[in-house]
Amino acid sequence: MTRYSLFRRCVAVVFLCMLLTGPALARPRPMVDVRVPEAAGVGKPFLAVIESWYPLENVRVRWNGVEVCPEVSLDREKYVAPVLLGIGLRGETGTYPIEVTASIWGHERTFSTDLTIIESAWGSETLRVDPKMVTPPPEAMARIERERELITAAINIVSDVRYWTMPFSRPAKGRMLSRFGLHRVFNGHTRSRHTGLDFRAWLGTPLYAMAAGRVVLTGSFYYAGNSVLIDHGNGLVSLSAHMSKILVREGDMVEAGQTIGLSGATGRVTGAHLHLAVFVQGQVVDPELFFTGEIESIFN
């Protein structure tokens, strides 16, 4: 072996050692990062954030049998697509997959992660209401069924446009009262779970949209009274109930914090207040987390 050949071999060995002991040992940066909390409770919403240094297009997220197409924005040279997800109040614990499909430079790729759903603790409360609000008269049943179909269709809207941004706006200035998920005993009978969050709001108090969106349904309903349902985009829908007066119309676009009605005592109530229900991908979830900073904590 010539001295030149020996020198070349030594250089190759040194270069190989540098590769093995240097930065190359670090794992390559993933093309797409799917960020989720370590776990989420039954009935609790959470934020999933799809991030990439590469240009993302046609992002689709599949979760618990539903597909949503979150909007992509550029944030400090990184492509970001946030989406709200959750398991409903009557959901089951376990490990759920989150599958993300996206196009990067014209090539479709699929990424996935798992999230654990754990049990949540629920309390109870006892209320007295008009007996017809516990056991409706036969002549009201057809109306109740029609209204259920209308509301179900509205809360299952999963639009491709995202109107909401963080932080979310508080829908009333009063303090929070009855919490989400409570087992409710009406007139001595356990009848339902509390599928919303109540805010103290004396009769005629202004009520606000929790985020920007499009009004998709308004009306006077048997249980919910005068109500407004808003599509905030990408599967986030809110329902504000028991109003004395509705100040928006179906099809209206509203901004976060805009007045949408006045508080009242219509429907099944014990007094004037705001009942706010929130749905993500058709699943009813705890509204309180939207106003405590817990949802956006994943960005920290």
Bridge partner residues of 225 (DSSP): 221
- Chain-wide mean pLDDT for the chain? 87
How far is residue 100's CA from residue 102's CA, in Å, rounded to a whole number?
7
pLDDT, position 264: 97
pLDDT at residue 188 tops 70: no
Fold of 33-118: Immunoglobulin-like (2.60.40)
3-state secondary structure the chain: CCHHHHHHHHHHHHHHHHHHHCHHHCCCCCCCEEECCCEEECCCEEEEEEEECCCEEEEEEEECCEEECCCCEEECCEEEEEEEEECCCCCCCEEEEEEEEEEECCEEEEEEEEEEEECCCCCEEEECCCHHHCCCCHHHHHHHHHHHHHHHHHHCCCCCCECCCCCCCCCCCCCECCCCCCEEEECCEEEEECCCEEEECCCCCEEECCCCEEEEEEEEECCCEEEEEEEEECCEEEEEEEEEEECCCCCCEECCCCEEEEEECCCCCCCCEEEEEEEECCEEECHHHHHCCCHHHHHC
Instruction: Count CB neighbours of 152 within 10 A.
Output: 10
pLDDT at residue 134 tops 70: no
Q: Supply the pTM of this predicted model.
A: 0.86
Q: Which of 40, 44, 41 is nearest to 285 (CA)?
A: 44
pLDDT band of residue 10 (cuts 50, 70, 90) is very low
Bridge partner residues of 230 (DSSP): 215, 238
Phi, psi of 22, rounded to the nearest 5 degrees:
-95, -160
pLDDT band of residue 295 (cuts 50, 70, 90) is confident
- Does the domain formed by 124-299 have CATH 2.70.70.10? yes
Q: Where are the domains of the chain?
A: 33-118, 124-299
Q: Which residue has the tokens 């196009």?
A: 103
Q: Which residue has the tokens 């009201």?
A: 140
**Cα separation values, 212 from 161, 196, 228, Å:** 11, 19, 13
Residue 236 CA, distance from chain mean position: 5
Average pLDDT over residues 140-167: 95
Residue 122 CA, distance from chain mean position: 20
pLDDT, position 122: 84
* Contact between residue 199 and residue 124 where contact means Cβ atoms under 8 Å apart: no
Average pLDDT over residues 138-151: 95
pLDDT at residue 43 tops 90: yes
pLDDT at residue 135 tops 80: no
pLDDT band of residue 180 (cuts 50, 70, 90) is confident
